[in-house]
Amino acid sequence: MRNVDRAKQKIRAVIAGSRVPEDPRHADNTLEWLLHLDPDAGDALQLAALAHDIDRADDVRKVKRADYDDYDAFKAAHARNGAEILRPILNACDVAGDIVDEVCRLVEVHEVGGDPCSDLLKDADSISYFDGNLPLYYQREGWAETKRRSLWGYRRLSARAKEFVNKICYQDETLMQLLREVIHEGIH
Ligand SMILES: [Fe+2]
């Protein structure tokens, strides 16, 4: 097995231990969306897609929302911490140094993007939030927080990614109403 594939297995095993119920599916679903957006995405991008939220799987080291007044500051700390947790895991799997550096860089900027690769990762992550996470997030957090989080996620999507989210359907009419409001408010 290639080192990169062993690293993917290790990342999946770590994220399987997350207390956030949507995390394991979100990791693979983000990878699937990445490959949908760019079928030629390389090893570094694929590893970053799978591992970008690894911070949430580490109960001791994970960044806590309650410690931050500002949501963007919380997200930046989450991304930075994820890269720090990930680096020794990749090194232990003997992933090549240049790939390790690029994966950690991508994870560190996955919330904001800024270059073609990290923009792809940000889109895949954001689409996957709507595709998989939102219903579970709503169950846990309720209408107001889910709408705030969703509007934040929708606004950071590229125009191409918005097209995918605009077509998402939920069985629950309340969630459909929430998505309609987010799309309506998010385009202005
Ligand atoms: Fe994510």
Q: What is the mean pLDDT of residues 118-122?
A: 97
Check residue 46 and give its pLDDT: 98
* pLDDT in the model for residue 17: 93
User: What is the whole-number distance in angstroms between the Cα of residue 79 and the centre of ligand 1?
Assistant: 10
pTM: 0.94
Does residue 4 have a pLDDT over 80? yes
Q: Tell me, in angstroms, the distance from the centre of ligand 1 to residue 174's CA.
A: 23
**Which DSSP string do the residues of 116-175 spell out, in sequence order?**
HHHHHHHHHHHHHIIIIIHHHHHHHHHHHHHHHHHHHHHHTS-HHHHHHHHT---SSHHH
Distance 171 CA to ligand 1 centre (A): 22
Cβ count near 128 (within 10 Å): 25
| Separation of CA 49 and ligand 1 centre (Å) | 8
Whether 188 shows a pLDDT value over 80: the answer reads no
Q: What is the chain's percent helix, strand, coil content, to nearest 5? A: 75, 0, 25
Q: Tell whether the torsion through CA atoms of 124, 126, 131 and 133 is positive or negative.
A: positive
Quickly state the pLDDT bin for 1 (edges 50, 70, 90): confident
In this prediction, residue 181 carries a pLDDT of: 97
Question: Buried (b) or exposed (e) across 24-57, using 16+ Cβ within 10 A?
Answer: bebbbbbbbbbeebbeebebbbbbbbbbbbbbbb
Instruction: Give the model confidence (pLDDT) of 28-68 as tens digits.
Output: 999 999 999 999 999 999 999 999 999 999 888 999 999 99
Ligand 1 centre to CA of 33 (Å) is: 12
The pLDDT of residue 59 is 87
Answer for the pair 123, 163: CB distance below 8 angstroms, yes or no.
no
The dihedral formed by the CA atoms of 4, 5, 9 and 11, expressed in degrees to the nearest 10? 20
**Looking at residue 96, what is its pLDDT?**
97
Residue type, 152: W
pLDDT by residue (tens digit) across 63-116?
999 999 999 999 999 999 999 999 999 999 999 999 999 999 999 999 999 999
Per-residue model confidence (pLDDT) at position 187: 82
The per-residue pLDDT for range 132-179, each reduced to its tens digit, is 999 999 999 999 999 999 999 999 999 999 999 999 999 999 999 999
